[in-house]
Amino acid sequence: GQQLNQSPQSMFIQEGEDVSMNCTSSSIFNTWLWYKQDPGEGPVLLIALYKAGELTSNGRLTAQFGITRKDSFLNISASIPSDVGIYFCAGPLRGGGADGLTFGKGTHLIIQP
């Protein structure tokens, strides 16, 4: 099945710093989704990308759909304490159908005081 590789696995940053994380796949994706998950909660959708090359922002978050359709990145500018959590990239398991999503293993963001 399709696998998504996220890097880095974890990030230790200071408040106010910018953050960059990415996600790669061996297969082409038609959609890239970025989610954030807090402990004990379900993932919350941050940004959805539908076209190769698309660059989309949501407040301090910016995500891009790679031109090759095999990668995506998420940037967070001027991090704040509530940005702490696990960030997952996800894409459709197969093609553009309505079946489930496959997820990466996540990037754990930790903000040091």
Partner 1 sequence: DTGVSQDPRHKITKRGQNVTFRCDPISEHNRLYWYRQTLGQGPEFLTYFQNEAQLEKSRLLSDRFSAERPKGSFSTLEIQRTEQGDSAMYLCASSPRFAGSFTGLGETQYFGPGTRLLVL
> In 40-69, which positions are buried (b, 16+ CB within 10 angstroms) versus exposed (e)?
eeebeebbbbeebeeebeeeebbbbbbeeb
Site residues for partner 1, 73-92, by CB under 8 A, read: 88, 90, 92
> Is the CB of residue 56 less than 8 Å from the CB of residue 63?
yes
Q: Does the protein bind partner 1 through residue 110 (CB under 8 A)?
A: no
Cα(3)–Cα(20) distance, integer angstroms: 20
Q: Does the protein bind partner 1 through residue 50 (CB under 8 A)?
A: yes
Residue nearer to partner 1 on the CB measure, 4 or 76? 4
Residue nearer to partner 1 on the CB measure, 26 or 41? 41
Residue nearer to partner 1 on the CB measure, 28 or 45? 45
Q: Does the protein bind partner 1 through residue 67 (CB under 8 A)?
A: no
| Binding positions for partner 1, rule: CB under 8 A | 4, 30-31, 33, 35, 40-45, 48, 50, 88, 90, 92-93, 96, 98-106
